[in-house]
Structure 1
Amino acid sequence: MSTTPPAPTQPPRNGGDLVVESLTALGATTVFGLPGQHALGVFDALRRSALRYVGLRVENNAGFAADAYARATHGVAPLLVSTGPGALMTLAALQEAAAASAAVLAVGSQVPLAGLGGGRHGYLHELTDQSASFRGVVKSVHTARTASQIPSAVAAAWESALSTPHGPVWLEIPQDVLLAPVDVPPVAGLGVEPRELAPRPELVAAAAERLARAERPVILAGGGVVRAGAEAELLALAERLRAPVATTFGGKGAFPWEHPLSLQSWLEDRHTTSFLEDADTLLVVGSGLGELSSNYHTFRPRGRVVQIEADLGKLESNHAALGLHADARLALSALVEEVARYEGGTAGDGTGAAREVSPEAAVSGLLGRVRDRLAGQDLDLEQRVLASVRDALPDDAVSCWDMTILAYWAWSAFDPRRSNALHSAQGAGGLGYGFPAALGVAVADPERPVLAVSGDGGAMYSIAELATARQYDLPVTWLIVDDGGYGILREYMTDAFGRATATELARPDFVALAESFGVPAVRTSPDRLRTDLAAAFAAPGPSVVVLPARLRMFAPTHLAD
């Protein structure tokens, strides 16, 4: 007698499977995070999925890694964390993602359904209203209270994160919902339609006329140009108008650094501020003209301002303008086409009066004044160090910068050589960004070397991630500038009060500490920095280069000399 073999059984699925299946259906390939008790359902489901999981040692660092991954890929970066302390540890990273318009989809667990509302059952990690902690930080907050709600909630969160302007979102799911068995087919065909922001035609026409008739048009390009992938449109418009272009710190790489019309990024310089103020029409695209982009709010435009901004809250928030609430790429593309309608196909010196000095000569003169100003401040060491970093870094590499004096120099003086290749935490300004962000970039493209730059103070925020770098063998070289304290705060306090308080730090032997993680490390000097960095970039896997040096900032150039 023959026996019919039993039909193969499918492995048990739960609410966590619906999360990972939904993410996969929407196009995710990689997730970042750190497990916790209430989130075990979704982490167990990862092993039944094709998603690549990258686990960091601290939730905030996982958030920074996801932020940089989203910037590097122009896509959504899922971040999986647990309830209470794990969730709250992501807030600083999500604030940075919000400031930089990085599409991080944070999925956090919750206490069981019976405990929602707080205080009734005394669950571990319980908060009265966990989602309330996120509402002032992220674009949108989502909750799934049943398994059947999970796919739609994940899709809604994904769509919100990727709609213009991009930004972080928060989704939370109770523990018992993640663990409960489900008897539905695997998620497939889940679709979203992220919103694009096209400019209104009448505003494009008005902006084009102002720019075409301007005698001295100037463009200030912000991070919105990079996030929108609008570099080609910016170049086309600038060349048609023959308009000089400055980039904000977040917009570095949006315009070619050595282009004859490039004012580069010297926004903390009174000569640059004056140049922008002197424009009879200033086009601000992808920037809210906040504190850093306006030279600490000293910028006072004398001409007319046209502003293209996807974030409605930033439109005309600091200066009156002809405001276009639009995606930078769509708006710039429309402007290029509309400006071309004017006589001769070129503008700037066509319908406007003849310029006394060519735009290219004006740009060259400004950059000369900037160089002369720096030359009088005895800053040879700082400029040599930054030049050594630039010379050692391969042209196709990406750099990620913490809040440290060398990063402040890089905002103004560093040529990233291409767009979307320099990331920093200058949006929200939290310490500890550089190294975990570099890990996120390396996960996105492990074939290219990545540079992280931190001071010794910021390095201690993310030192545990040396284990992550080693575990995943990520090609990140970490430059730690060791000056024995919080260097920029030391300068600020000394300038303001005559002496610094609470800025000096005991710190470890960074070389020995890195080697204890199995990460090669070397202590360098300004004279050997270029050689040691180049060797680190050429070697596989992670490495650390420690530079003992006390660097200084250039003088506060928003003040009159």
Structure 2
Amino acid sequence: MSNEVQRNGGDLVVETLSALGAKTVFGIPGQHALGLFDALSRSNLQFISSRVENNSAFAADGYSRATGEVGVLFLSTGPGALTSLAGLQEAYATGVPMVVIASQIPLDGLGARRKGMLHQLDDQKASAANVTKFQQTVHHASGIPSAIQDAWAQAVTVPMGPVWVEVPQDVLLAPVFVPPVHDALAEAYEHPPRVELIDEAVRWLSDAKRPVIVAGGGVRRAGAESELLQVAEKLNAPVLCTPGGNGAFPWEHELSLQSWVEDRYVTEVLEDADVLVVVGSSLGEVSSNYFTLAPRGHMIQIDAEPRVLESNTPALGIRADAKTALEFLVSKLNTTQLSSSPDWHGQSPAQLVTQTLGKVQNRLRGQGLDLEQKFMADIREAVPADMQTFWDMTIAAYWGWSCWDSRDGEFHSAQGAGGLGFGFPSAIGGSIGLQIKGASAEQARVLAVSGDGSSMYSIAELATAKQHNVPVTWLIVDDGGYGILREYMEGAFGKATATELTRPDFVALAQSFGVPARLVEADQIGEALRESFAGEGPNVIVVQTLLRMFAPTHLGE
């Protein structure tokens, strides 16, 4: 009798993923998904087991952001699938390509024909429809490879995002007799810009005296930094990067307004532009300085997501991937005579940028924020230039949105959907991805930054980090509550309600997982980080301090 294991639908899943280039899968086993996990044992895919499905989604997201590859997530049915949705919302809002394989109840229970099955939802796929760009249920094992291949193509097609394929339990377990999947191809669909729209944009820009560029996350995801630089220098146009676009333009360039999106001085420069070019950004709540931006000139908006075009501000909307559109602009501008020299009311663009950034710094100095500025500067000085950083929704991250020079590294934050708990699990995924791509443990070390409130969303992932010996340094800034909400409520109502929190002893808790941890003062953060970066595996630094946010205007403005 042969001892050969009978392949099943689960094998088709992992074979197809491997053929498409997947190397790592995140998730948690579940009853209906056992066929998937049994098949993993016969594959070369690495599996990273998180402790909460939402954190698995964040980890797959961080893996994709750090590597530029597709993150893969395995989910069990019902509660497991639903628990992942907040993490998927962040990936969906930020345009992170992910393939989600979710199990389902057996075929004879689909469509509520059989009630009372464990984990059963009336329509599980509908639950994912708000946070994924594609959903499909596979009814036969033979359809698995094509379904995953189609989903992968959807994930990497702009606007990129997570996609959802669910496979019933019995389909995963069904024996298959087809040969193993050795080859699969999933190519992104092209969305070139319409030529007449590019021509019109060039006509506007050729006459512009005060052009300005806003670079969003779409520029980074498209790898369009070089094209952005060429367009900016050709137009002699100041460039502001949104939080998602942080790093898309050189921080110290003479045309760089950096990322001070929440300061009114910078907003006024955007409003004074006679042509404002917005690339890869919805110009949403944060990047429009909370919808206070009111451009007085023409606006050109380039984005791969048609739903965001002109959604907040009238514009010449151009649907296209940022890199493709900027390549078109570079080509056209190089053969176009610009009819006028930039003139910012007697100043050159470089002089305007220097003056504006000086005003921002003077405003900050007038708000008594020495602690906050030194704290962020000390972190920046300690973090190696090429290190990737992952920031939760915390006051330090809000500062980072505006003041963090990512240098040769990458800045990742949860500003897309704004859910808590992103920082640590996404950093775990990011570090694992860097190692998969060949980085040493030292080169793959990353920094996660959380508040005490957000850290509790992902505290269980200390076990994941320890189990896989992930080189991630987790900085927890403990201010005794939900700091951002405290500030918002005190500003709006004069008092804060339900923002104060009982916290664990974070140091003792981390140590109970076998993870080195220590408590340091705010002025010791630089030294503590440098020492932690030299360690092996995960480690934790806790700082108990109260940081405040800067105000975008002076009082009375």
What TM-score do you get using the length of structure 1 for normalisation?
0.96
Task: Specify the code of the residue in structure 1 equivalent to 2:156.
Answer: L
Among 174, 194, 203, the alignment partner of 1:200 is 194
Among 352, 357, 374, the alignment partner of 2:364 is 374
Unmatched runs of 5 consecutive residues or more in structure 1? 1-5
Among 234, 238, 250, the alignment partner of 1:240 is 234
Aligned to 2:521: 525
SS in 2 for 1:546: strand
Q: CA deviation at 1:262?
A: 0.1
| Correspondences of 1:154-553 after superposition (within 5 Å) | 154-343=148-337, 347=338, 349-350=340-341, 356-418=346-408, 421-446=410-435, 447-553=443-549
Give me the whole-angstrom Cα distance separating, in 1, the residues matched to 2:18 and 2:256.
Answer: 42
**Contact 1:243–1:348 (Cα < 8 Å) also in 2:** no
* Alignment deviations for residues 187-207 of structure 1 (CA, whole Å, 9 cap, x no partner): 122222211221111111111
Aligned to 2:440: none
The RMSD of aligned alpha carbons is: 1.4
Give me the whole-angstrom Cα distance separating, in 2, the residues matched to 1:348 and 1:253.
Answer: 31
Unmatched runs of 5 consecutive residues or more in structure 2? 436-442
Aligned to 2:99: 105
Aligned to 2:125: 131
Q: CA deviation at 1:118?
A: 2.2
Give me the whole-angstrom Cα distance separating, in 1, the residues matched to 2:344 and 2:265.
Answer: 23
Task: Specify the code of the residue in structure 1 equivalent to 2:463.
Answer: A
Q: CA deviation at 1:497?
A: 1.2
Question: Which stretch shows the higher mean deviation, 11-20 or 67-76?
Answer: 67-76
Evaluate the alpha carbon distance shift between residue 190 and residue 558 of structure 1 in structure 2; reply closer, same or farther with a 3 A threshold: farther
Aligned length: 550
Give me the whole-angstrom Cα distance separating, in 2, the residues matched to 1:541 and 1:307.
Answer: 44
**Contact 1:234–1:332 (Cα < 8 Å) also in 2:** yes
**Contact 2:215–2:279 (Cα < 8 Å) also in 1:** yes
Q: CA deviation at 1:137?
A: 1.7
Evaluate the alpha carbon distance shift between residue 256 and residue 484 of structure 1 in structure 2; reply closer, same or farther with a 3 A threshold: same
SS in 2 for 1:415: coil
Aligned to 2:438: none
Give me the whole-angstrom Cα distance separating, in 1, the residues matched to 2:130 and 2:4.
Answer: 42
Task: Specify the code of the residue in structure 1 equivalent to 2:496.
Answer: A
SS in 1 for 2:112: coil
Give me the whole-angstrom Cα distance separating, in 1, the residues matched to 2:37 and 2:539.
Answer: 30
Q: CA deviation at 1:558?
A: 9.6
* Alignment deviations for residues 246-271 of structure 1 (CA, whole Å, 9 cap, x no partner): 00111000001111000011111111
Task: Specify the code of the residue in structure 1 equivalent to 2:309.
Answer: L
Give me the whole-angstrom Cα distance separating, in 1, the residues matched to 2:478 and 2:43.
Answer: 42
Aligned to 1:3: none
Task: Specify the code of the residue in structure 1 equivalent to 2:174.
Answer: A
Percent of paired sites with the same residue: 59
Give me the whole-angstrom Cα distance separating, in 2, the residues matched to 1:336 and 1:544.
Answer: 46
Give me the whole-angstrom Cα distance separating, in 2, the residues matched to 1:349 and 1:541.
Answer: 57
Among 15, 36, 56, the alignment partner of 2:9 is 15
Q: CA deviation at 1:356?
A: 2.0
Is 2:157 the counterpart of 1:142? no
**Contact 1:220–1:248 (Cα < 8 Å) also in 2:** yes
Q: CA deviation at 1:276?
A: 0.3
Q: CA deviation at 1:41?
A: 0.2
Q: CA deviation at 1:100?
A: 0.6
SS in 2 for 1:527: helix
What TM-score do you get using the length of structure 2 for normalisation?
0.97
SS in 2 for 1:528: helix
Aligned to 2:42: 48
Evaluate the alpha carbon distance shift between residue 257 and residue 137 of structure 1 in structure 2; reply closer, same or farther with a 3 A threshold: same
Give me the whole-angstrom Cα distance separating, in 2, the residues matched to 1:235 and 1:560.
Answer: 37
Give me the whole-angstrom Cα distance separating, in 2, the residues matched to 1:12 and 1:348.
Answer: 72
Give me the whole-angstrom Cα distance separating, in 1, the residues matched to 2:209 and 2:4.
Answer: 71
Give me the whole-angstrom Cα distance separating, in 2, the residues matched to 1:558 and 1:69.
Answer: 40
Task: Specify the code of the residue in structure 2 equivalent to 1:342.
Answer: T
